[in-house]
Amino acid sequence: MCLIGMPIAQSLSPAMHNAACAALGIDATYGLCETGSGGLAAAVAAIRGPEYLGANVTIPHKEAVIPLLDEISPLAARSGAVNTIVKRGAILRGENTDGGGFLWPLRLGGAQLDQWRVTLLGAGGAARGVAVALLNAGVTQLTIINRTVERAAALVAALEDARADILALDDPWVGGALAASDLLINAVPTGYGPDATLPLATALLGRLPAHALVYDLAYRKTALLEAAEARGLATLDGLPMLVGQGALALQLWTGKEVPREIMWAAALARRDGHPSS
Residues of this chain that bind ligand NAP (CB under 6 A): 59-60, 98, 101, 122-127, 146-148, 151, 187-189, 198, 217-219, 238, 241-242, 245
Q: How far is the CB of 257 from ligand NAP (least distance, A)?
A: 20
* Annotated binding-site residue? 126: yes
When the beta carbons of 67 and 209 are compared against ligand NAP, the nearer one is 67
* Annotated binding-site residue? 11: yes
Return the C-alpha torsion angle 53, 275, 192, 169, nearest 10.
Answer: 30
When the beta carbons of 95 and 98 are compared against ligand NAP, the nearer one is 98
When the beta carbons of 94 and 125 are compared against ligand NAP, the nearer one is 125
Q: Which amino acid is at 153?
A: A
In angstroms, rounded to a whole number, what is the distance separating the alpha carbons of residues 240 and 127? 16
Q: How far is the CB of 51 from ligand NAP (least distance, A)?
A: 26
Strands (E), the chain: 2-5, 31-34, 54-57, 71-72, 84-88, 91-95, 117-121, 141-145, 164-167, 183-186, 213-216, 234-236
Handedness of CA 192, 208, 151, 173 (dihedral sign): negative
| Strand 84-88, strand 91-95: pairing | antiparallel
In angstroms, rounded to a whole number, what is the distance separating the alpha carbons of residues 39 and 66? 15
When the beta carbons of 78 and 209 are compared against ligand NAP, the nearer one is 78
Q: How far is the CB of 240 from ligand NAP (least distance, A)?
A: 8
Q: What backbone torsions phi and psi does residue 126 show, to the nearest 5 degrees?
A: -70, -40
Q: How far is the CB of 138 from ligand NAP (least distance, A)?
A: 22
Q: How far is the CB of 69 from ligand NAP (least distance, A)?
A: 18
> Collapsing DSSP states into helix, strand and coil, what is residue 161?
coil
Helix H or strand E encompassing 127: helix 125-136
* Annotated binding-site residue? 41: no
* Annotated binding-site residue? 136: no
Number of H helices, E strands in the chain: 11, 12
* Annotated binding-site residue? 186: no
Query: Is residue 87 annotated as a catalytic residue, yes or no?
Result: no
Q: Establish how many alpha carbons lie within 13 A of residue 80's alpha carbon, considering only the half-sphere containing its beta carbon.
A: 15
Exactly one of 62, 87, 221, 256 is catalytic; which is it? Answer: 62
* Annotated binding-site residue? 13: yes
DSSP secondary structure letter of residue 223: H
- Residue facing ligand NAP at closest CB distance: 124
When the beta carbons of 147 and 163 are compared against ligand NAP, the nearer one is 147
Binding positions for shikimate: 11-13, 58, 83, 98, 219, 245
- Catalytic residue ranges: 62
Binding positions for NADP(+): 122-126, 146-151, 217, 238
